[in-house]
């Protein structure tokens, strides 16, 4: 019992408010920062147990990503830099919601179920974003780890993807890279400079990029990276955190949802701009054209640019490896058609959520995945990486194949394969545009998005909706899918699907068609069908026009 004595004492300093229950979701725990002190202490405990169980270093990141500044959150990182295993998400919820006098019992329950040897050493890496509450909350995590005798390394202010990277570097004994910020900047900048320094006749205008840092950690880290890449990329940073509020009227989520430029960014016609989100794991690009019309290049456009670049390089290198793009039902139909019909790239559709995308991408030689919101990365199988490296070293290979292989090798090194990373993704996009000699308009014109509309319908119980075929078809309630099918037939190039929200009693409706008016009408008609057949609450949805 002595080993839990310190937990019993220290947990009194981080008491749980009675009756408060929180759920560990895709993004970990997230809520108003003042409700999180006990959660942080307990996630320190859980990370220590996970470390003992896996005999590896585990990460704990204190952040609430694109949420408002007064919120905070926490997520756990598994040994290879991936999200924590699903069963441990359940343990996180159990531990977080155990009332104060049941905490030790909940802890012992996990130890017994997982058969954890408490004499095993434990190591936990901790990072935090720039929110005012983050320093005190990460101290609570440190308290949790130390009360079970774990060792910690506190990285202080880092982006979420940087902490994922550090954990992976540590557990691969440095094979993935050096587990320091300097190591991260060196690895990425060297790969980026190798990719771009041979590109002929690049002007300063082509090297210029406007970046909205969302007044978050990404802005801080870009300032640290900037000296490493200055010769090939001139970043003009706005919303750098010196005066504005985190995610307020800026950041990737704001730009994606509002379909307009963030405050604080003055864009010239055709200038390339991008936005990070609050913890720098998402990125979107955008520009305004000569008619002052705003154009957004989201995750679908990013996945298309990167996957087609990789496919061309594989062809030039003579490597027989399959590139696949993993999408969700929300991917624009135009992107799917362009990839499959024009570029002959395999496309796989999976359920919404990074975890599902990441898992599906692991099934291919090279798996590219991006959610529409700009979160994504590229995964290279061990076999694919081996073939690329061997080709680079092969002295019997002609110059064209060798050049393509070197470009592939540097692209592998530039990508953070552990998780979506706005800094890494930005450098990949910039390198691809430079190598191909493309402007942001050229990239945007690869294909034209079908007009679409997303709506929400409040229902009394979201569980009445069950879906199949990667959430593209509704199985229950009876009659709903038939209704959707007959509504879709009325419009050209149309499709629509509905899925229950993961967090609230609403049903999300998506529709696309050949015109915006058609997409809006279809979305409204499907919303009406949901309201009538799935237990809608309140008045029927009103038409958009």
Q: Write down the pLDDT at residue 504.
A: 79
pLDDT at residue 2 is higher than 80:
no
pLDDT tens-digit readout, 156-183: 999 999 999 999 999 999 999 999 999 9
pLDDT confidence band for 1 (50 / 70 / 90): low
Confidence category of residue 151, pLDDT binned at 50, 70, 90: very high
If residue 135 lies in a helix (H) or strand (E), which one and from where to where?
helix 134-147
65 classed as catalytic: yes
Q: What is the mean pLDDT of residues 364-392?
A: 97
* pLDDT of the residue at 464: 94
Q: Note the residue count of the chain.
A: 545
SS (H, E, C) 474-487: EEECCCHHHHHHHH
- Set out the domains of the chain in order of their start, with CATH numbers: 4-157 (3.40.120.10), 183-297 (3.40.120), 300-412 (3.40.120), 452-534 (3.30.310.50)
Q: Which residues, 6+ apart, have CB-to-CB distance to 141 below 8 Å?
A: 40, 41, 43, 44, 47, 60, 62, 74, 124, 126
Catalytic residue among 11, 51, 65, 275: 65
Binding residues for substrate: 371-373, 499-503, 508
Q: Which two tokens stand for residue 437?
A: 């000699």
pLDDT of residue 163: 98
Non-local CB neighbours of 210 within 8 Å, separated by 6+ positions: 236, 238, 265, 267, 271, 272, 273, 274
When the pLDDT of each residue in the chain is averaged and rounded to a whole number, the result is 95
- Give the mean pLDDT of 438-458: 95
Could you list the residues known to form a binding site, using ranges. 65, 277, 279, 281, 371-373, 499-503, 508
- Dihedral sign (CA 8, 12, 13, 17): positive
Q: What number is the average pLDDT over the span 506-530?
A: 96
Q: Which residues contact 108 (CB under 8 A, 6 or more apart)?
A: 4
CB atoms within 10 A of CB 293: 8
| Interval 260-309: pLDDT, tens | 999 999 999 999 999 999 999 999 999 999 999 999 999 999 999 999 99
**pLDDT (mean) for 129-147:** 96
Using alpha carbons, select from 17, 19, 18 the residue that is nearest to residue 34: 17
Half-sphere exposure at residue 366, Cβ-oriented, CA atoms within 13 angstroms? 26
Spatial distance between the Cα atoms of 290 and 535, rounded to a whole number of angstroms: 47
Torsion of CA 394, 397, 398, 399, to 10 degrees: -20
Query: Closest Cα partner for 276 from 82, 439, 162, 425?
Result: 425
Task: Name the DSSP letter for residue 339.
Answer: I
- The residue-averaged pLDDT of 420-424 equals 97
Tokens at residue 442, please? 């050229």
DSSP string across 353-397: SHHHHHHHHTTSSEEEEE-TTS-EEEEE-HHHHHHHHHHHH-TTS
Which residues fall in the annotated binding site for Mg(2+)?
Answer: 65, 277, 279, 281
pLDDT attached to residue 20: 87
The predicted structure's pLDDT at residue 400: 94
Q: 487 is written with which tokens?
A: 């509504």
Instruction: Look up the pTM and report it.
Output: 0.94
The share of the chain scoring above pLDDT 70, in percent, equals 99
Does pLDDT of 503 surpass 80? no
Q: How far is CA 292 from CA 130, 192, 262, 288, in A?
A: 34, 32, 15, 5
Overall average pLDDT of the 86-102 stretch: 95
pLDDT digits (tens, 9 = 90+) for 219-243: 999 999 999 999 999 999 999 999 9
The pLDDT-based confidence of 353 (bands split at 50, 70, 90) is: confident
């Amino acid at each position: 019992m002595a080993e839990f004595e310190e937990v019993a004492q220290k947990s009194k300093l981080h008491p749980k408010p009675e009756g408060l229950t929180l759920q560990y979701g895709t993004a970990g725990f997230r809520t108003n920062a003042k409700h999180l002190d006990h959660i942080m202490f307990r996630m320190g405990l859980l990370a220590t147990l996970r470390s003992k169980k896996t005999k590896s270093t585990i990460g704990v990141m204190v952040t609430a990503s694109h949420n408002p500044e007064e919120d905070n959150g926490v997520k756990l990182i598994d040994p290879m830099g991936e999200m924590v295993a699903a069963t441990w998400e359940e343990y996180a919820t159990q531990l977080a919601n155990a009332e104060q006098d049941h905490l030790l019992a909940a802890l012992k329950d996990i130890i017994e179920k997982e058969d954890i040897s408490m004499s095993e050493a434990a190591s936990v890496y901790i990072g935090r974003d720039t929110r005012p509450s983050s320093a005190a909350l990460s101290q609570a995590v440190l308290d949790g780890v130390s009360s079970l005798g774990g060792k910690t390394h506190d990285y202080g202010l880092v982006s979420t993807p940087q902490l994922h990277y550090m954990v992976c570097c540590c557990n691969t004994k440095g094979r993935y890279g050096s587990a320091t910020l300097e190591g991260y900047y060196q690895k990425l900048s060297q790969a980026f400079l190798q990719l771009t320094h041979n590109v002929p006749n690049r002007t300063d205008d082509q090297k210029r990029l406007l970046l909205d840092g969302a007044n978050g950690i990404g802005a801080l880290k870009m300032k640290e990276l900037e000296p490493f890449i200055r010769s090939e990329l001139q970043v003009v940073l706005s919303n750098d955190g010196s005066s504005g509020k985190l995610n307020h009227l800026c950041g990737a989520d704001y730009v994606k949802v509002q379909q307009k430029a963030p405050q604080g960014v003055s864009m010239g016609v055709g200038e390339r701009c991008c936005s990070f989100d609050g913890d720098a794991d998402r990125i979107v690009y955008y520009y305004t054209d000569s008619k002052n019309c705003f154009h957004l290049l989201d995750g679908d456009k990013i996945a298309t640019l990167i996957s087609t670049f990789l496919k061309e390089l594989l062809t030039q290198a003579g490597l027989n490896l399959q590139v696949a793009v993993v999408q969700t039902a929300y991917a624009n139909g135009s992107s799917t058609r362009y990839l499959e019909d024009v570029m002959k790239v395999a496309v796989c559709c999976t359920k919404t959520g990074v975890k599902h995308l990441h898992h599906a991408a692991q099934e291919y030689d090279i798996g590219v995945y991006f959610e529409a919101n700009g979160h994504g990365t590229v995964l290279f199988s061990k076999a694919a990486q081996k073939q690329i490296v061997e080709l680079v070293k092969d002295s019997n290979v002609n110059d064209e194949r060798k050049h393509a292989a070197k470009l592939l090798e540097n692209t592998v090194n530039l990508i953070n394969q552990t998780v979506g990373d706005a800094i890494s993704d930005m450098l990949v996009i910039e390198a691809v545009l430079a190598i191909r000699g493309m402007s942001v308009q050229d990239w945007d014109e690869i294909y034209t998005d079908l007009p679409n509309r997303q709506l929400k319908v409040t229902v009394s119980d979201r569980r009445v909706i069950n879906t199949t075929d990667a959430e593209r078809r509704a199985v229950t309630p009876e009659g709903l899918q038939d209704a959707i099918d007959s509504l879709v037939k009325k419009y050209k190039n149309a499709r629509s699907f509905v899925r229950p929200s993961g967090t609230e009693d609403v049903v999300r409706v998506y529709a696309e068609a050949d015109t915006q008016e058609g997409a809006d009408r279809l979305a409204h008609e499907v919303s009406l069908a949901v309201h009538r057949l799935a237990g809608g609450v309140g008045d029927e949805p009103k038409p958009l026009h």
